[in-house]
Amino acid sequence: MTFRSCAQYALMAILLVLAACDDKNDTVNIGAIYNLTGGLSSLGIPSSEGAALAVDVLNDRGGILDREVNLVLVDGETNVEVIPQKTQDLIDKTTNMPVIIGMTGTDSALAAARVAAQNKRVFITSGATSPLLPSEVPEYLFLACYGDNVQAAAAAEWAISDLKVGTAAVLYKSDMTYTKLIRKYFEEDFQEKGGKIVFSQGYTADTLADVIAELPVADLIYFAASPDEVISGITAIRATGYEGPIASGDGFDIDENWDKLPTESNSFFTTHADVSADNTNPEMIAFRKAFADKYPDEEPSAFSALAYDAVMLVAAAAEKAGSLDVNAMRDALSTLQDYKGLTGTISYENGSRIPVKSVALFKVQDGKEVFVREFMPDNVPAP
C-alpha cells in the first residue's frame, strides 16, 4: 500500500469518526402543533408552554440519548383546513423529527395526525380525548390522555352517586366531534346507572340561545361545549333562572377565564390532573416551580401538564428503544408500562394506544377552579 493510499484511508477514517460525532450531537427535534389562536387557544397556549418547559428539563438532564432537544412549534389556528398543510410544512422543513406532539381538540388532532402518519411520523396527542382516534389513524397515533368515554363515565357516576340527581338535560355543540362524543358517552353511562335523560339537543353558535330557551326542568344540565363558549353559555343558562348544577368535561377547564363569572359556584367538570398549589405531590411541586420560573405571570393548567407528559413520553420511548428510529420508538411506546407522569401513571396495554388513567373532578367555587377528587369510574362505555 502506498503512502498516499494510507493517508487516504486515514483521512477517511477521521472523516467517518467526525461524521459519527456530528450525528451523535445532532439536535433531536420534537414537532409540536397546537392551536395558539382561535377558539381552542385557551387550551393550546398552556399546552405549548408545558411542552417547552419539558424540553428545558430534558436538556438540563442531558437531552435524549445524549442529544440536545429542540421543540419546533407551529400554530394550527383552530382551523382544520389549515392544520394539514401546517403539519406537512413542519415535516418538510424539519430533520431529525421522529415524533410530533400536539392538539387538544379531536378534529384538530385528526387533521394533524393523518398527515404525520402518511409521512411515517409518530403523533402523540396530549389533549385530544376521542377514544376513536387510534382506529382512525392506525399504528402512528397515541393518546397521552384518557378517552372521553372515561371522563364522561366519571361525570355520570359522580352525578348519581354524589349529587344524587335522577334527571339530566343535555346540551351539546353539534358541529364538533369532541362535544358530540362526550355527550353520547355521558348519556349512555348516566342511563346505565339509573338516571333519566329528559332532554338532549345539539346547537350551533347561532342556535344556542334558542336551545337554552327550550330547556325543561331537570336535576342537572350537562353542557358539552367548546372552551370559548363556556362563559357565555353558562351566563345564558343562569339567565333562565336555573340554579342547579351544570356539568361538563375538560372543555370547561379554562382556568382564569372563570374569573368572568365571580359568583358561579355550582358548575363541575372532569379534567386530567390537579395542578393547583394545593397539590402536595413532590413532582407537581417541582413542575409548578419550574413553570413559575419560566412563565412568572401565568399559572399552569392540566393541559400544560399533559403536554409536558407528552414530551417526556417521547424521551421515554427513545430511551426504551435505544434509538431515534421512528419504527423503534413507535414499538417502544406501544409497550410502555407504568410511566409516572404528572397526569397519572401511563401504560399502553393489550395493543391499545390509549392509556388507562384516572379522572380529576373539579368544581367552580366563586369563579375559581377547586379540586374535588380523583377516581377511576366503573362501567366505562365502549368507544
**Mean pLDDT, rounded, of the chain:** 93
pLDDT in the model for residue 46: 97
- Taking only the tens place, the pLDDT of each residue in 345-354 is 999 988 899 9
Q: List Cβ<8 Å contacts ≥24 apart for 204-210.
A: 204/173, 204/174, 204/175, 205/229, 208/171, 208/233, 208/236, 209/236
Domains of the chain: 28-146+278-352 (3.40.50.2300), 149-271+361-375 (3.40.50.2300)
Phi, psi of 303 (to 5 degrees): -75, -30
- Which triple of cell numbers denotes residue 216? 325543561
CB atoms within 10 A of CB 305: 30
Least Cα distance to 140 among 166, 110, 161 occurs for 110
Q: Using an 8 Å Cβ cutoff, are 178 and 230 in contact?
A: no
pLDDT in the model for residue 207: 97
pLDDT in the model for residue 1: 44
Question: What span, in angstroms and rounded, lies between the C-alpha atoms of 263 and 235?
Answer: 11
* Residues sharing a CB contact under 8 Å with residue 284, sequence separation 6 or more, in sequence order: 273, 274, 275, 305, 342
Q: Using an 8 Å Cβ cutoff, are 222 and 251 in contact?
A: no
Least Cα distance to 303 among 17, 61, 36 occurs for 36
Q: Using an 8 Å Cβ cutoff, are 362 and 268 in contact?
A: yes
Question: What span, in angstroms and rounded, lies between the C-alpha atoms of 183 and 171?
Answer: 8
Residue ranges in the chain whose pLDDT is less than 50: 1-24
